Structure 1
Amino acid sequence: MSNRVILLKNKTSKLDSYENLFKQHQYDPVFLPLIKHQHIPDEAFQVLNSLEYLVNLKYIIITSQRTVECLMETILPNLCDDHKRLLLSKTVYTVGPATAGFLERIGFVNIKGGDRAGNGSILADVMIDELSVDQDICLQQEILFLVGEIRRDIIPTKLSSAGFNIREIVTYKTCPLEDNLTRFQDALKPGSWVVLFSPQGTKDILDFLKQHPHLKCNVATIGPTTEKYMLDQGVKPNVVSPKPDCLSLLHSIMP
């Protein structure tokens, strides 16, 4: 059987944690981007470039590595040093250890959630629990949620229903690449593992796998949203990683 693992995602850095860990365990990881990202920094920059806003802002929510990249590449470099230091001192809530690690690397010093919050629903519960002692302040001040153009509304819905004031600002958008299936077929070996991180851009690939069961590929996914999408498309994943990180995924697919 093949030891190839096709990761249907953009490689996040030269030292991507999935690549390093899978290679250490004699797997052959191949990254196959299905979507392209475009930063939309203007509104976020305008808001974060306001000293008055930054002074009053206490909490930020960032759940996407794409948002971290937007901050790193297009917002932080254009802020003055004082504004940058003030922004990076804010409490930032995030989902999963990977995004928490990226936030730490770009300079945030007070990161919460992370390992304790494997999805948005858990993060919202963590925030409600932790911020309840500060609720009078939070009801008056907004919590800034930096998001992608396509996102689920679990976090703002839960927090709003608990009385918190949430402001969402879009920092990036995504769209599918046109040659996803062709590149997937080029990368595929019989018996490969195929890992889905998001529904976006995967329909043709799932249809192909359904039509070619003789390839005996195993399919893994991270998170219940993508699992539900796969089931709706008639594909049952062999594995659903219990946490959105490379170690949980590795342990899930190892024999």
Structure 2
Amino acid sequence: KILATKKLSVEQLRMFNKEINVTDTDFIDIRYNRLSPNLVKEPIGHVIITSKNALEGLLFNFTPDELRFKNIYCVGRKTKALVESKIGKVSHYEKYGEDMANYLTKNLKEKEVTFFCSDIRREEIPSILTKNGFGVNEVEVYRTVLKPKPFEEEFDAILFFSPSGVKSFVEMNTFGSSVAYCIGKTTAKEAKKYTKDVVISHTPLVESVIELVNKSYV
């Protein structure tokens, strides 16, 4: 028995081995912020988009034509594909935020970037860039709201896709003997505060987490 701490798509649910019984439910909610039209009045030279939610938050406020970004930098292959399908070409992408910050530090002559993020964004990008003399204009595009819920039953594995998902889960539950399967290093770091049994997927994709579970429960 497995608990996924966010709703999965039909395709993702089909990926699980037949014998695995999956419960999927959202432990966090995403709320988009209203953004000022002044934000996109002029073209923007360098922008960082690290998630699908940040992209959706921008498109909640503006049409793709209004988003005149000269260079877009993405974290994650899926984010890159989404950005390219909805607003335009991505100049560079990395798997992790830290790698992106290091890439920009080495390669960007104009030390000015706009970072579209959430209220509980990760520190690596702004802190590495600021340390290296960059001006970082942070725009909070969406908010993450915890939606904790209690579960009486015990699961063999619990799947986490963000540090916020872990925080929400532990508000009303404990791990017991459940193994935490995590989408990336930052999520795993949060899970390790509450359990020793943590497994991290090789690539930060939901599908990679599912493949890992399938290998463990053949």
| Alignment TM-score > 0.5, same fold | yes
The separation in 1 between residues aligned to 2:92 and 2:106, in whole angstroms, is 12
Q: 2:24 aligns with which of 12, 28, 31?
A: 31
Larger helix proportion, structure 1 or 2? 1
Q: 1:228 aligns with which of 170, 174, 189?
A: 189
Secondary structure of 2:62 counterpart: helix
C-alpha displacement at 1:22, in angstroms?
A: 4.8
The separation in 1 between residues aligned to 2:91 and 2:24, in whole angstroms, is 28
Change (3 A) 1:206 1:101: farther
The separation in 1 between residues aligned to 2:60 and 2:15, in whole angstroms, is 30
Q: Which residue of 2 aligns with 1:112?
A: 92
Q: Which residue of 2 aligns with 1:196?
A: 160
| Counterpart amino acid of residue 193 in structure 2 | D
C-alpha displacement at 1:62, in angstroms?
A: 0.8
Q: How does 1:128-207 map to 2 (within 5 A)?
A: 128-131=105-108, 135=109, 138-139=110-111, 142-178=112-148, 180-181=149-150, 184-185=151-152, 190-191=155-156, 193-200=157-164, 201-204=168-171, 206-207=173-174
Rg larger in structure: 1
Q: 1:243 aligns with which of 192, 200, 203?
A: 203
Task: Please give the per-residue CA displacement for 1:20-79, whole angstroms capped at 9, x wherever unaligned.
Answer: 245145355543111222111324x4311x1xx21xx221001122111112223227xx
Change (3 A) 1:24 1:143: same
Q: Which residue of 2 aligns with 1:65?
A: 52
Q: Which residue of 2 aligns with 1:99?
A: 79
Which 5+ residue runs of structure 1 have no aligned equivalent?
A: none
Change (3 A) 1:241 1:24: closer
Secondary structure of 1:232 counterpart: coil
| Counterpart amino acid of residue 135 in structure 2 | N
| Counterpart amino acid of residue 118 in structure 2 | G
Q: How does 1:7-22 map to 2 (within 5 A)?
A: 7-11=4-8, 16=9, 19-22=10-13
Contact 2:161–2:206 (Cα < 8 Å) also in 1: no
Change (3 A) 1:223 1:237: farther
TM-score, length basis structure 1: 0.72
Q: For this pair of structures, how many residues does the alignment match?
A: 210
The separation in 2 between residues aligned to 1:8 and 1:26, in whole angstroms, is 18
Contact 2:32–2:60 (Cα < 8 Å) also in 1: no
Contact 1:219–1:238 (Cα < 8 Å) also in 2: yes
Contact 2:116–2:140 (Cα < 8 Å) also in 1: yes
The separation in 1 between residues aligned to 2:49 and 2:179, in whole angstroms, is 32
Task: Please give the per-residue CA displacement for 1:155-176, whole angstroms capped at 9, x wherever unaligned.
Answer: 1111122222211011111221
Which 5+ residue runs of structure 2 have no aligned equivalent?
A: none
Percent identity for Structure 1 against Structure 2: 22
The separation in 2 between residues aligned to 1:105 and 1:163, in whole angstroms, is 33
